[in-house]
Amino acid sequence: MIIPVMANDDGLTYPLKPSPSIGPYDDQKFLNNSTAILTKLSGKIIPIEGPDLLNLKSEQIQLSRLNISPDFYPEATKINAYLFKISQAGETYGTSKRLTEHPDTLGSPVYDQYTKARSYYSDAMEIWTDIKDLFPNTKPPVLPDPKLPIHRSNENGIPSDSIFGNK
C-alpha cells in the first residue's frame, strides 16, 4: 500500500518531526550529517538527476526523522528546509532540462520549470543567510548554467537557444 506524503504549510514534503519533550536527542548527529552534506555540495553545481540527487533527497529525509531538542529545533528546521529547497531546485531544473530533450516540447513548460527551480533556489538562498554561520567552511551550491536549448522561437520567429532568448 502506498501512503501519500503531503506537504506542510511551508511546502516541505518532509518537515522535521515535532521535537520530543524528553531526549535522547540527535542534535549532534543532525549537525554532523548536515555539515557532511553541505561540505559535499559546497560551491558545486546542485545535482539535477541520478544518484547524486537521490542521495541528497534521501539524506534530507533521514535528517527530518531525527529527534531534535527544543533548543536546536529552530536551526534544524531551517537547515532541513534549506536542504529540501536545494533538492527541489535541482529536481525541477532537471525536469526543465529533460523537457528540452523532446522536440515536441513547447518553450513554455521548459521556462515554467526553470522559473520554479529558480524560485526554490531563491528560497534556499534566503534560508542560507540564516544558517551560513553554522557552516563557516562551506559555500552554497549553484544551479547549472541557465542556457538551455528550448523548442520555441523568439518574437522574430528565430529559434531560441536559451530560455532567455538568443544570447
Burial of 122 per CB tally in 10 Å (0-12, 13-18, 19+) = exposed
Phi-psi map region of 43: left, alpha, beta (phi>0 left; psi -120 to 50 alpha): left
Higher pLDDT, 110 or 42: 42
- Is residue 111 very low, low, confident or very high in pLDDT (cuts 50, 70, 90)? confident
Q: Are 8 and 51 in contact (CB under 8 A)?
A: no
Higher pLDDT, 109 or 55: 55
Is 83 a residue whose pLDDT tops 70? yes
Residues 6 or more apart whose Cβ sits within 8 Å of residue 65: 17
pLDDT at 96: 83
Cell triple for residue 132?
551560513
Average pLDDT over residues 34-47: 95
Number of other CB atoms surrounding residue 10 within 10 Å = 12
Is 160 a residue whose pLDDT tops 70? no
